[in-house]
């Protein structure tokens, strides 16, 4: 039995639908099980034969976390600690998702799993604390640091760009932050493949689509697809801007590029980012 915590979020919904379609035995929870309460978690897992816990719960409001770090810490660290302790007690495998925000983005090279962390934001600090809670628990675990996540469910950069491009004649997009998107559907397929394989190479991994781009590059390709499919009905000037022209409460890493050889060795399929984006648009048309 697999417990999917956070089954109604962007990634959780994707995982739930994929497991349901593949016939995998799982139980999904959302706000009905408060992972920030150890009593709630303990009561839920009692008398259940859970082999895997997938944690798709996260406080992801990056800018809001700057003024609400306590809540973010409660969800991203304390809640994760409760899941890790439950996994340890059950002898289950915990699959947890972290972020590129645990790094400061000053490296000139793609980030390896062993590189020193130095989060710039409250969100990054809380996600790093969650990682440490998992490792300190001693449970069997996979931690996947991912970047620029998007998918057909929930709110994300692609949907925001499509909306803005239908509202404005000009859209400014940051062109001095580099990274790689992560398409939720392909990530999900890899996670299910991992579970079915029984692989025990536990640890921390970096995962994203292949290719290095800026947010501006991402927006340009979104516009191309949107216009081609009739999802954008106007001509839009997409203007490259610098980070200081778009100030936000939380600082973003300038470089979010991951070195992904370790996760390839885990057996993950990694596609080019633009191929995945094309697949995203195909899925939205079904």
Active site residues: 123
Nearest Cα to Cα of residue 113 among 275, 267, 264? 264
Q: Angle, to 10 degrees, between the axis of helix 215-228 and the axis of helix 157-165?
A: 60
Residue 160 CB partners (closer than 8 Å, separation 6+):
none
CA–CA gap between residue 82 and residue 130 (Å, rounded): 10
Q: If you count them, how many residues does the chain have?
A: 286
Task: Give the three-state DSSP class for 26.
Answer: strand
Token pair 């739930």 in the structure block, residue? 16
Region of 42 (left: φ > 0; alpha: ψ -120 to 50; beta: rest) is alpha
Angle, CA 271 vertex, CA 266 and CA 275 arms, to 5°? 165
Closest listed residue to residue 185, CA positions, set 2, 1, 21: 21
> Do 110 and 72 form a contact (C-beta atoms < 8 A)?
no
Q: Which residues contact 25 (CB under 8 A, 6 or more apart)?
A: 1, 2
């Amino acid at each position: 039995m697999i417990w999917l915590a956070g089954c109604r979020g962007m990634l959780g919904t994707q995982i739930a639908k994929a497991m349901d379609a593949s016939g995998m035995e799982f139980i999904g929870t959302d706000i009905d099980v408060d992972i920030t309460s150890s009593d709630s978690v303990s009561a839920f897992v009692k008398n259940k034969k859970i082999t895997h816990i997938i944690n798709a719960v996260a406080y992801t409001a990056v800018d809001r976390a700057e003024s609400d770090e306590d809540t973010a810490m409660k969800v991203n660290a304390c809640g994760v600690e409760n899941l890790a302790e439950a996994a340890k007690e059950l002898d289950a495998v915990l699959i947890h998702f972290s972020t590129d925000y645990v790094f400061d983005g000053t490296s000139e090279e793609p980030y390896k799993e062993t590189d020193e962390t130095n989060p710039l934001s409250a969100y990054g600090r809380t996600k790093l604390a969650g990682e440490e809670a998992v490792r300190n628990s001693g449970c069997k675990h996979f931690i996947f640091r991912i970047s620029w996540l998007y998918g057909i469910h929930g709110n994300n950069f692609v949907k925001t760009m499509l909306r803005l491009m239908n509202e404005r004649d000009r859209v400014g997009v940051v062109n001095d932050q580099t990274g790689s998107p992560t398409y939720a559907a392909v990530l999900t397929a890899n996670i299910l493949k991992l579970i079915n394989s029984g692989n025990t190479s536990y640890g921390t991994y970096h995962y994203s689509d292949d290719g290095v781009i800026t947010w501006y590059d991402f927006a340009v390709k979104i516009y191309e697809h949107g216009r081609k499919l009739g999802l954008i009905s106007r001509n839009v000037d997409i203007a490259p801007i610098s980070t200081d022209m778009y100030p936000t409460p939380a600082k973003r890493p300038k470089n979010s590029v991951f070195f992904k050889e370790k996760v390839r060795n885990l057996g993950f399929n990694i596609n080019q980012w633009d191929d995945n984006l094309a697949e995203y648009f195909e899925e939205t048309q079904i």
